[in-house]
Amino acid sequence: MKKRQRAGFYFILPWLIGLIVFTAFPMLAAAYISLTDWDIVGNAKFIGLDNFKNVFRSEEFIKSLWVTFRYAILAVPLIIATSLTMAVMVSKNYKGMRIFRVIYYMPAIVSGVAVAIVFKWILDPSYGLINGVLSFFHIKGPDWLYDPDWVLPSYLIMAMWGAGGSLLTYLAALKDIPQDLYDAAMIDGANTWKKVKYITIPLMTPIIFYNLVLGIIAAFRKFTDAYVLGGAGKEGNFYMVYLYEEAFSHYRMGYATALAWILFAIILLLTIIVNWTKKYWVYSE
């Protein structure tokens, strides 16, 4: 390695140290635990790959994976699109934009439990706000969280509401786009849409990539509001809720850890795929 390249190694050293000191042992422990029958409280009994075998035979596993997957595949693009739109709308320094930026970001600052409870009331089938507004237009709203067909849309609505969470990242990226590029484009006669399409979005792709990867991870690991509000009953709950209950309600930590590793593998696979496509659409100097 060239000397300059080696320097990079020193820069990442703090993280590497942290990896070894804080991350490696728990992950190795978790790997071992997944091969055991452990009720947390007692001793762990080594059982090899039995946990994994049981997972793949479990109906609950398939159901929760499907629920989570369906959610992820819809929520991730939805959130990115919503967030990008919000960002572009509030990016200019017009009067009052500062307040709007805070308002659109605010959903991300509340902790999950409070939000979940409030949405429970907003989505209430009989007296909630959404159905109230719908009834104004003479539409009978669905049972939302109580109707298996409408559980997923309920969570998507909550996801869109919280989409502002990535707002700051897009704003930070938007700030970076040199004004000269827009100037040059204008001279060439480009209109707003063309500017967005050929300048803004391409230069934002690194940040979009970031939000995509993180979005996938977050969607598959969705927990807090799902835990408070529940899934679709027999249709299955979110994967992490299933995992959490296996670990802390049924005291089957070994099995839960196996579930965790399977989730890990799925997310890793998806991320590798997305990362591989990086060279096709993500701009970098």
Which residue in 52, 78, 190, 251 binds other proteins (CB under 8 A)?
A: 251
The stretch near other proteins (CB under 8 A) out of 18-26, 51-59, 67-75 is 18-26
Write the CA distances from 239 to 20, 123, 160, 235, 242, integer angstroms.
29, 22, 20, 12, 5
- Least distance CB 267 / other proteins (angstroms): 4
Alpha carbon distance 219, 70 (integer Å): 10
Q: According to the binding rule CB under 8 A, does residue 126 interact with other proteins?
A: yes
> By CB under 8 A, which span of 50-58, 64-72, 73-81, 257-265 interacts with other proteins?
257-265
Check residue 16 for interaction with other proteins (CB under 8 A).
Answer: yes
The residue within the footprint of other proteins, chosen from 52, 58, 169, 199 (CB under 8 A), is 169
Q: Which of residues 141-160 bind other proteins (CB under 8 A)?
A: 143, 146-147
Q: Does 139 bind other proteins (CB under 8 A)?
A: no
Distance CA 151, CA 226 (A): 10
Contact predicate 169/211, CB 8 Å: yes
Region of 51-59, 64-72, 73-81, 259-267 interacting with other proteins (CB under 8 A): 259-267
73 or 268: whose CB is closer to other proteins? 268
Q: How far is residue 115 from each of residues 36, 48, 119, 195, measured CA to CA in Å? A: 37, 41, 6, 37
Contacts with other proteins, 39-78, as mask; x by CB under 8 A: xxxx------------------------------------
Please enumerate, as own/partner, the contacts of 102-108 that have beta carbons within 8 Å and a separation of 24 or more.
104/164, 104/167, 105/164, 105/165, 105/167, 105/168, 106/164, 107/161, 107/162, 107/163, 107/164, 107/165, 108/162, 108/164, 108/165, 108/167
**Alpha-carbon span 238 to 222, nearest angstrom:** 7
Interface residue with other proteins among 62, 102, 139, 273 (CB under 8 A) is: 102
Looking at residues 104 to 123 of the shown chain, list those that interact with other proteins (rule: CB under 8 A).
Answer: 104-115, 118-122
221 binds other proteins (CB under 8 A): yes
Residue 187 interacts with other proteins (CB under 8 A)? Answer: no
Q: What are phi and psi of 199, to 5 degrees?
A: -115, -60
Kindly state the number of chain residues that form the binding site for other proteins, as judged by CB under 8 A.
120
The number of beta carbons lying within 10 Å of the beta carbon of residue 129 is 13
We find the least distance from the C-beta atom of residue 277 to other proteins, in angstroms, to be 15
| 98 counts as binding other proteins under rule CB under 8 A | yes
7 binds other proteins (CB under 8 A): yes
Residue 188 interacting with other proteins (CB under 8 A): no
Helix (H, G, I), strand (E, B) or coil at 189: coil
Q: Strand locations in the chain, DSSP E?
A: 36-37, 45-46
Q: Applying CB under 8 A, does 226 fall inside the site for other proteins?
A: no
Residues linked to residue 37 through DSSP beta bridges, in sequence order: 45
